[in-house]
Structure 1
Amino acid sequence: MPPGRSDLVGRLGDPGPPSGPQVAVGRPSMSGVLDPEGVARERPAQVDDRETVALHQPGTALPGELSPRSQGTRFEPAETRAGVGSAPDDATGEDLGGGSPPEDAAPERSDGADEPPRRRRGLLIGALAAAAVVALGVTSVFTIEPVGRVFGLGGPAVAPTSPPPAPFVAERVLHGVDPAATGPTAEGLTAALAPSVGAAGVGTLHGVVVDPASGQALWSASAQEPAVPASTTKILTSAAVLLALPADHTFDTTVVAGTEPGTVILVGGGDPALTATPDGTTTLYSPEPARIADLAAQVLEAAGGEPITEVLVDVSRYSGPLRASGWDDADAPSTYGGFVEPLLLDGGRSDPLVEPSVRLGSPARAAGEALAEALGGGAAVSVAEAPAPADAAVLGEVRSPPLVDVVEAMMLMSDNVAAEMLARELALEVGEEPTYEGAAAAITMVLAENGFDVSQLTLFDASGLSRDNRITPNLLGDVLSATVHPIDESDQARSAALRPMLTGLPVAAASGTLADRFQTEAGRGWVQAKTGTLSSVNTLAGVVTDQEGKLLVFALLSSGTSREQGRPALDAVASALRECGCR
């Protein structure tokens, strides 16, 4: 079990009234239900001769397929479980990931970086914790033999020599949230939001609330006007990358033979999760990242005993300035931003397992030194701007985790370096220059090709660290609505491609950059949203389910107030949506 999983379950508390999904997993007991960690849960309701427990699962896999984030959970088509219900064509995912860390080191200009988590806490539990948050989403149903039948209660006494009870078996079937839920009226929602959107801490607000099933805006405030988005920019970056590249795409790091005997060239391929941590270590990005040790083992085998005397580092894959327009000099390197090179370890962090930690000024060289050490030490290391020879023999190669996992980790931690690397890879994919400018152009082009209105979009980076970026709430709302839209004939390919982004949206009071927020708000455990923070700019965009089970999309971009004022003010707006019936 990944670190912090049981902690996240315990922190969620009661996610809402009985009408909402329950987080109740585990074996029946005399006093209730205990989950595998021993945490007491509410007893499940009786259904005929069985007990039923509602539970959310990440839905990025089609029925019957194995999801890479499901930790081995196989989603079975509903028709194979007679009498239990029908599964949707596809399941929406929720999320989980790392917890929020302390504020970053930049004076109030904390984001672009949104304080990524101290440690990732496992991908699946955030999805479970998000309850009904996921759009038109998925609920797993466990059917469990009655307590008396499983444990032999209520019948003749069991002799001490009797065999133990049969193993506990759970059956899972996915159910979609009803897209026909009535939801709020525009008038009711406007009245319900008035106190929170009018609070002083909100400052100047650009925002929109959308019914993703119909695409109708139920409430808006200057939603058509562009505003500084901070790290909600990453919603557009993630969407463009997922629309342009396959979900299982990987970023490969190779070692090739140099032109001189004993020389090898380490070639960066854009993997932010590459690591030199020991085998078996779960990193901030993945439990199974590509490892320098594996590269070294392949190189030593290919060398056949010939000593390696020099390691060259090829960083020619990317080009352009070290910082984007709208960045301060202090933004890179810092605890939240770094130089974007196609070769680095653990996002270029000085401490691979701590977030935040200062990003290195020469991340590619550090990767080369790690390879030299893994090869036995003693090899000289130098960084080469020129590319490795095209016909060089490949001595070793390792692959990143799948694209969907890299996107998820980037979103949960609000990792600026990973966002910029993904955007550079997108630029290369669509024929743009692998620079800040080219990456911004690639994001804009891919979104436009997929039907989104980018007429008022201005991007200078992919992470949101630039204060020069401008995005309308309407565009953020449109992208999120497409992400959670029912997968049907009207929008099947686009929604299916965007679905994995949902697991990267932090869960209020539970995961990612929202782990330390919403602690006393009604949105606790129900709001899933990408955060954003710059000096005097606070943003929040995501999804929430109201009291009647209606899924709503929201995008809130505020300015003119401090982080200490703006964040709780936006949390209150999102929580007002959760409390809404609003007619």
Structure 2
Amino acid sequence: MSLSDNADPKGASSTPHAGPAAPAPQQGQARRRRALTWVFATLAVVVTVAAAGGLVWQISAVASPRTGTFTPPEAYPPADPAPVLAGSDAAAPLPDLESVLPDLLADSRLNGSLSASFADALTGEVLFQQEATTPLAPASSMKVVTAVAAFEHLGAEFRIPTTVVEGPTDDSVVLVAGGDPTLTVDGKGYYTDYAEGASLTDLADLVLEARGGTAPTTVYLDTSVFTDSVNATGVTMAELDTSTAPMAPIMVDGGRTDNTQKYSPHHADPAMVAAQEFADLLGATAVEAGTAEAGAAELAVVHSAPMSALADSFILTSDNLLADAVALQTALAVEGEMTWAAMSTVHLATLEGFSADPAGLVFHDGSGLSPDNRMTAKAFTQMLLGAAGSHASSVFESLPVAGYSGTLDDRFGTAEEGEGVVRAKTGTLTQPTGVISLTGTLTTANGRQVIFSLISNGHTTGESAVETAMDEITTAVSQCGC
């Protein structure tokens, strides 16, 4: 029967004719539905087979372009992929690290002072320690302290505000800096890979809307929230142009002159550069320093990415400026002032709150860039053990994964068994040399999760040699069936 046999309702008639009698209207409709269903099903099969045939032909053509025949892979089915971030097993046995770590830590590449601490994540039991209470410069492992404090006191959803309020005259507004260094001109910039910055363009549009479309003549910049030096103790002025920026409570693209480069040179006065960018977008002709009047009406506000994204950014990429900005933001929330001293107070109190021993600890910044910071491997593991059962547990999600992400994406080449199993924050100081650290967590071959910290100071074997030694040590522990 052809598709057109009963396609047209007008073809149905009660007039007698040669051949079978015409179907009743309801029977005809049912028959037409069955016919259409059969045709569409047939077409679907044809299309599916054709698509599948095309896919097979493409694979075959690549495998054997001359004949078009399919060449199966040498090994089928393929081997199971290596585990990545395998879950821990509470029933797994505790590893006997006392039997393996002394020899591993006697590696000649680790010829300086080495502070080491390994603890069971589930029970907190110390599995091994060596000079664990010796205060050493931690380098960028300090960023883990900053993230833990921020998550504990601010929360993962906290966002840094940047506000505009009415100015002292009708033709002025005040840009009130809130501590956000991740602002961008249009929502695109260096930070968008991990933490998209708030847009100055959006802020300007909101201000113009609030003012009925009238642009102010003057933008006053209020930076009174930050009342300290532009550099932390131990951080040189030269490093403010390379490894970080002069600290200020408002910046565009982290104060970088080139927002596509992590280590771009920085503006000498990033806050004023940000204010000028905002004034240009707003259509204002003058920018001056000033302070918002108490009770001034708010015209607009924009917010940074949430703290969870900011922590991901400064831990994964080891961004010094952003880590310091977050540390100062935490200080503002807890101590009421955005100063390096207040930051130190908050970090020490946070560690004590997690039962970490504060003896000998010194915090000058939140990034670890200052060589005058002091931390111990034991304090790191105690802090992470406490964080695991608190609001700060989000820090574990931010840690780089060996061989896969962040500053560990190109590590563990000589210890590939640790890839996807070790998750940790790296630390390196080039000035002075001889400062390397690795702090985080790993899962043993039996499924036991271990929290660890390794800090080396004063070694003379070179950065890459010490990093490789630490990669191999943590990998050996992760593969240990001891």
Same fold (TM over 0.5): yes
2:253 is matched with 346
Q: For the structure 1 residues 551 and 296, does the alpha-carbon distance in structure 2 shift closer, same or farther, using more than 3 Å as the test?
A: same
Alignment of 1:93-108 (within 5 A): none
The alignment status of 1:439 with 2:346, answered yes or no, reads no
CA-to-aligned-CA distance 1:181-211 (integer Å, 9 cap, x gap): 1131133333xx6145423245321111111
1:558 aligns with 2:459: no
Provide the rounded CA distance (Å) in 2 between the counterparts of 1:449 and 1:547. Answer: 32
1:575 is the counterpart of 2:475: yes
SS of residue matched to 2:181: coil
Matched, 1:400 2:354: no
Asked if the contact 2:189/2:260 (under 8 Å) is kept, the reply is: no
Task: Give 1:130 deviation, angstroms.
Answer: 4.3
* Mapping 1:14-413, distance limit 5 Å: 130-132=84-86, 137=87, 177-190=88-101, 194-195=103-104, 197-201=106-110, 203-278=112-187, 283-287=192-196, 289-334=197-242, 336-376=243-283, 379-382=285-288, 384=289, 386-413=290-317
**Structure 2: gaps spanning 5 or more residues:** 1-54, 57-72
1:273 CA displacement: 2.3
* Alpha carbons 1:476, 1:555 under 8 Å: kept: yes
Q: Which amino acid aligns with 2:454?
A: L
Question: In the TM superposition, what is the alpha-carbon distance from 1:496 to its structure 2 partner?
Answer: 3.5
Given that residues 274 and 345 in structure 1 are in contact (C-alpha distance below 8 angstroms), is that contact kept between their aligned partners in structure 2?
Answer: yes
What are the superposed Cα offsets for residues 162-187 of structure 1, whole Å, 9 maximum, x if unpaired?
A: xxxxxxxxxxxxxxx32221131133
**Higher Rg of the two aligned structures:** 2
Hey, what's the Cα distance between the residues in 2 that align with 1:403 and 1:130? 25
> How far apart, CA to CA, are the structure 2 residues paired with 1:439 and 1:54?
44
**Aligned pairs for 1:423-502 within 5 A:** 423-431=327-335, 433-484=337-388, 495-502=389-396
2:444 is matched with 546
Query: What is the CA deviation profile of residues 344-372 of structure 1, one whole-angstrom value per residue up to 9, with x for unaligned ones?
Result: 12222222233232232211112112212
* Cα offset, 1:294, TM superposition: 0.8
CA displacement, residues 45-65 of structure 1 (integer Å, 9 cap, x when unaligned):
9xxxxxxx999xxxxxxxxxx
Segments of 4+ moved more than 4 angstroms: 40-45, 278-282
Which residue of structure 2 aligns with residue 519 of structure 1? 413
Cα distance in 2, alignment partners of residues 282 and 553 from structure 1: 30
Larger proportion of helix: 2
Q: Separation in 2 of the partners of 1:317 and 1:502?
A: 31
Number of equivalenced pairs: 405
Gaps in structure 1 of 5+ consecutive residues: 1-29, 32-39, 46-52, 56-128, 138-176, 485-494
Q: Does the 8 A contact of 1:542 with 1:554 survive in 2?
A: yes
- Secondary structure of the residue that 2:346 maps to in structure 1? helix
Q: TM-score, normalised by structure 1?
A: 0.65
Distance 1:350 1:342 in 2: 17
- TM superposition shift of 1:543: 0.8
Share of identical aligned residues, percent? 35
Structure 1 residues 54 and 393: alpha-carbon distance in aligned structure 2, compared to 1, 3 A threshold: farther
CA contact (8 A) 1:183 1:546 kept: no
Task: Say whether 1:537 aligns with 2:435.
Answer: yes
The amino acid across from 1:381 in the alignment is: V
Change (3 A) 1:525 1:440: same
The 2-side partners of 1:282 and 1:249 are apart by: 17
CA distance in 1 between partners of 2:238 and 2:357 (Å): 34
**CA deviation map 1:126-179 (0-9, x unaligned):** xxx8422xxxx4xxxxxxxxxxxxxxxxxxxxxxxxxxxxxxxxxxxxxxx322
Structure 1 pair 579–281 and aligned structure 2 pair: CA distance change class (3 A): closer
CA distance change for structure 1 residues 187 and 307 in 2, over 3 Å: closer, same or farther? closer
Q: Distance in 2 between matches of 1:43 and 1:199?
A: 43
Give RMSD over aligned pairs: 2.7
> C-alpha distance in 1, partners of 2:322/2:148?
14
State the one-letter code of the partner of 1:178: D
Residue 456 and residue 504 in structure 1: after superposition, are their counterparts in 2 closer, same or farther (change >3 A)?
Answer: same
| Alpha-carbon separation, structure 2, partners of 1:451 and 1:228 | 21
* Cα distance in 1 for residues equivalent to 2:473 and 2:126: 16
| SS of structure 2 residue aligned to 1:131 | coil
What displacement does 1:280 show?
10
Amino acid at match of 1:529: A
Structure 1 pair 281–447 and aligned structure 2 pair: CA distance change class (3 A): closer
Question: How far is the alpha carbon of 1:278 from its aligned partner?
Answer: 4.6
Gap change, CA 1:347 and 1:451, over 3 Å in 2: same
* Mapped partners of 1:528, 1:443: distance in 2: 23
